[in-house]
Structures are given as structure tokens and as C-alpha cells.
């Protein structure tokens, strides 16, 4: 016998279907909630990891980036205060030809009309342009290309941020040679305390031919790093 519409049997079956649908919807709702919580948790953890990574990069950069040495500048260029400094009597003057210099590396003399922009170079730079930079009060720090990377890094840490040229030099008489206008110091190690003394006395010296002239705005030689 087939149950008639509206009979208690049909009504019970309808209630069961509705209850099953509600249960299914509720289960789906709970699954969506769990997925949402899981995704939010992943996002929070991922964001936290990213923040930590950024902080680590900032801290690492701060710790590892060498700070420029700080010198007062404007010294009188008194060589008697530093053991081993040689002084010369080179004259100034602009020429358009190559110059044979008395010192190696040059520490003054005739030079090109355009100075070399101060900075760090990883290639040999033109003598005539570098000497013009010395005339403006810069220090030319030259090194034997065979020195170690660690030694070079130590040397860079001794340098100010401006009015200095750092470059390799073939045939140099010592591992490291510092040249100011008519003054020069040879050292065997980047840890030599006289390097700082030389900068304190000769960097941006008031006794150069063109005191206060710029060390930028002219020419870059090949191999400029910074």
C-alpha cells in the first residue's frame, strides 16, 4: 500500500531529508571555518617569517657594511710626525701628454687638466688624472694586486668616504702605498697604525696647491666600484 501525501510516513521522511541537508550544510560550514583558520594561520606564520627575515637582513647589512673612517681633515701636512713618510718638491701644471713621474706611484707633479673622480677602483687608473686629485687634497691609496681580499677589506675600512682614490698599482714598491701631494708612505700591512696618522695629517691638507677644489664632477676611470 503506497503512503498518501500528507501521511505520517511521508512527513517523517521529509523531516529526515531536511535534517540530513542541515547536517550536511553544517558540516560544510565547519570545514570552511577550519580551512579559513588554517589559511589565516599559514598567513600569520608566513608573515612572521618574512618579518624576521627582513629584520635579519637589515641587521646583517648594518653589521657587515663597513663604516667610513672619520678624519678631521685640513691638516698642515707635517711629515715629521709620522715615521717613514717621504716628502718631495714636485711642481704643479697641466699637460695634455703622458708624464714620467719621479715617484712610484706618483705623489705630485704635472698632470692632466681633468682630475680623477675620487672613489674605489678595481683597475689601474691613469696617473695623470689621479695626480690632479692629489692637488685637490685627496689621498691616493694604491695596493699590490696580489694582496688578499681580507687585507683589502681591512684597508677599505681605514678610508674616509670622500677625497680618497683606492686602486691597484702594478710594480708598487710595497704592498700598500699612500700618496698625498708631495708626501708618501709605504706600509706592509693594512693594519699599520700609520695609515690613520697619514690621513689625519695629509687628507684634505690646507697645503696642497688647490685646497678645497672638488674631487668629483670630472672623469671616472674604468673599474670604478663606488
Query: What value does the mean pLDDT take over residues 64-81?
Result: 70
C-alpha cell at 206: 690646507
Q: What is the mean pLDDT of the chain?
A: 85
Each residue of 90-148: pLDDT tens digit? 999 999 999 999 999 999 999 999 999 999 999 999 999 999 999 999 999 999 999 99
- What 105-109 contacts at long range (C-beta under 8 Å, 24+ apart), as own/partner pairs, is 105/130, 105/140, 105/142, 105/169, 105/172, 105/177, 105/179, 105/184, 106/130, 106/131, 106/134, 106/179, 107/134, 107/179, 107/180, 107/181, 107/182, 107/183, 107/184, 108/134, 108/135, 108/181, 108/182
Phi, psi of 69 (to 5 degrees): -65, 150
Cβ-contact 116, 218 below 8 angstroms: yes
pLDDT score for 154: 97
Phi, psi of 64 (to 5 degrees): -85, -25
Looking at the chain, the whole-number percentage of residues with pLDDT higher than 90 is 64
Rounded (10°) CA dihedral 78, 82, 86, 89 = 0
CA-to-CA dists, residue 175 to 121, 130, 142, 169, 190, angstroms: 17, 19, 8, 10, 9
Each residue of 134-163: pLDDT tens digit? 999 999 999 999 999 999 999 999 999 999
Confidence of residue 78 (pLDDT cuts 50, 70, 90): confident
Confidence of residue 218 (pLDDT cuts 50, 70, 90): very high
Cβ-contact 107, 139 below 8 angstroms: no
Tally the residues of the chain: 226
CB count within 10 Å of CB 15 equals 10
Amino acid at each position: 500500500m503506497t503512503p498518501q501525501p500528507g501521511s505520517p510516513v511521508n512527513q517523517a521522511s521529509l523531516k529526515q531529508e531536511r535534517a540530513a541537508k542541515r547536517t550536511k550544510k553544517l558540516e560544510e560550514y565547519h570545514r570552511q571555518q577550519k580551512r579559513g583558520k588554517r589559511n589565516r594561520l599559514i598567513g600569520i606564520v608566513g608573515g612572521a617569517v618574512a618579518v624576521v627575515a627582513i629584520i635579519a637582513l637589515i641587521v646583517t647589512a648594518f653589521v657587515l657594511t663597513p663604516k667610513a673612517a672619520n678624519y678631521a681633515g685640513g691638516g698642515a701636512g707635517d711629515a715629521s710626525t709620522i715615521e717613514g713618510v717621504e716628502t718631495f718638491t714636485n711642481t704643479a701644471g697641466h699637460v695634455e701628454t703622458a708624464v714620467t713621474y719621479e715617484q712610484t706611484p706618483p705623489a705630485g707633479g704635472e698632470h692632466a687638466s681633468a682630475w680623477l673622480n675620487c672613489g674605489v677602483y678595481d683597475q689601474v687608473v691613469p696617473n695623470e688624472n689621479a695626480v690632479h686629485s692629489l692637488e685637490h687634497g685627496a689621498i691616493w691609496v694604491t695596493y699590490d694586486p696580489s694582496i688578499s681580499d681580507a687585507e683589502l677589506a681591512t684597508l677599505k675600512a681605514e678610508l674616509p668616504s670622500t677625497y680618497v682614490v683606492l686602486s691597484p698599482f702594478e710594480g708598487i714598491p710595497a704592498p700598500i702605498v699612500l700618496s698625498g701631494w708631495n708626501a708618501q708612505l709605504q706600509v706592509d700591512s693594512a693594519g699599520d697604525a700609520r695609515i690613520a696618522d697619514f690621513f689625519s695629517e695629509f687628507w684634505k691638507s690646507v697645503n696642497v696647491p688647490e685646497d678645497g677644489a672638488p674631487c668629483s664632477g670630472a672623469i671616472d676611470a674604468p673599474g670604478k666600484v663606488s
